Amino acid sequence: MKRYEKEALLKGFLLFFSTLLILNSVIFYLYFNDKKKSLHVDIFNQIKLYNYNFLDKDMIIDIVPHKDINALYKLFIDKNEIYAYFDIPSSKKNVLKIIYPYKKYVDKISLIKNKILFYCIITTTVLLLLSILYSFYTIYPIKKALNLMELFLKDIIHDLNTPISSIFLNLNILKRKNSPNAIKRIEFSAKNIGSLYNNLESMIKEDVIKKEPIDIKEFIDEKIEYFSYLYPNIEFIVEIKIETIHSSYNELSRIIDNLISNACKYNYENGFVKITIDSKKITIEDSGIGIKNPKKVFERFYKESDRGLGIGLSIVKKLVDKLGYKIDIYSEIDKGTTIQVTL
């Protein structure tokens, strides 16, 4: 566990446990006071009963002047004495003071305290275990998100490294001699970086859809030129049965870029990518390695290998939904993948 994860776990635990501990202490404090009041009522009832039958040998009787007392039929608890006053029918000057054994009272209070302390220790232990459990439970999704972000950043750095290295390499070639191929490679590397940037932007940006007629042959030819350079060993087969598609150029470009990129990236050497477009759907078929869990591929950051960022198809799904289209995926391991976008 990393330092910031330990810190988050400790802070979460202390905050949760201290809050529960305070609530637990307040509850037991109120419970103790309630039990104490009940004990006082019980003691007063015993004293009152003794005032009628005088059968309790532990009680002490005293007669005091009426003028020295504060109230009759009320329990008084002093520092070392607990008692109550009652009137004497045959006397108006004196009253009867009945004293309850103080040690007995202290023992009962101690018994209540010990019992409450026992329950308090049990509940505190349970709260401690629950706090630890809930702290781990609450930090788990945060830890998972941080790990995903860390892997995501590593993948971005890795994916940026190739085109950037290519740019610097070809710039050095240009310094030595004027090379059209070097310029072309720099152009494609820049487009590769631009494609990554557009994918990241698509994750957070919400643009208003503006549909327009798109020359589909010119559109696809441009994509094939780009990917043919990146994947010279892949055969591209194109069947276009319509001239234009009425759609959003930027969104459709992102969709096609990601689908062709995946079809090439996870293909076998000397494999093929077939693109078929008619008035109802766009179909991209490849001869690649296939997908184990087709239903999961639209989840963000889901990957079945170490290649890529795991965001391409989640972006495709987002853009397809945004355009009001439908996407279906069919795949078998080692037999390739077919993706259909219904317009």
How far CA 304 is from CA of 150, 231, 296, 321, in Å, comes to 17, 21, 10, 24
Q: What is the pLDDT of residue 254?
A: 82
Cβ distance 291 to 337 under 8 Å? Answer: yes
Which of these three, 92, 116, 138, is where a domain ends? 138
Flag whether 91 is in a domain. yes
% of the chain at pLDDT higher than 90: 43
In the DSSP assignment, the letter for residue 248 is: -
**CATH code of 269's domain:** 3.30.565.10
| Count of structural domains, the chain | 2
Q: What is the pLDDT of residue 148?
A: 67
Q: What is the pLDDT of residue 222?
A: 86
Flag whether 162 is in a domain. no
Q: What is the pLDDT of residue 71?
A: 86
Instruction: Mark whether 126 and 243 lie in a shared domain.
Output: no
Which of these three, 88, 105, 138, is where a domain ends? 138
| Count of all residues that appear for the chain in the document | 343
Cα Rg of the chain (Å, integer): 41
Residues of the chain with pLDDT under 70: 1-2, 4, 146, 148-208, 304, 306-310
Flag whether 35 is in a domain. yes
State which H helix or E strand residue 99 sits in. Answer: strand 91-100
Q: What is the pLDDT of residue 228?
A: 87
Q: What is the pLDDT of residue 12?
A: 81
Q: What is the pLDDT of residue 327?
A: 94
Cβ distance 264 to 232 under 8 Å? Answer: no
Question: E-strand spans in 203-325?
Answer: 212-215, 235-240, 244-247, 272-277, 281-286
What is the maximum span of the chain, computed from C-alpha positions, in angstroms? 131
Instruction: Mark whether 314 and 217 lie in a shared domain.
Output: yes
Which of these three, 138, 162, 181, is where a domain ends? 138
Instruction: Mark whether 110 and 216 lie in a shared domain.
Output: no
Instruction: Mark whether 214 and 105 lie in a shared domain.
Output: no
What domain range is 228 assigned to?
Answer: 209-342
Distance CA 188, CA 174 (A): 15
Flag whether 197 is in a domain. no
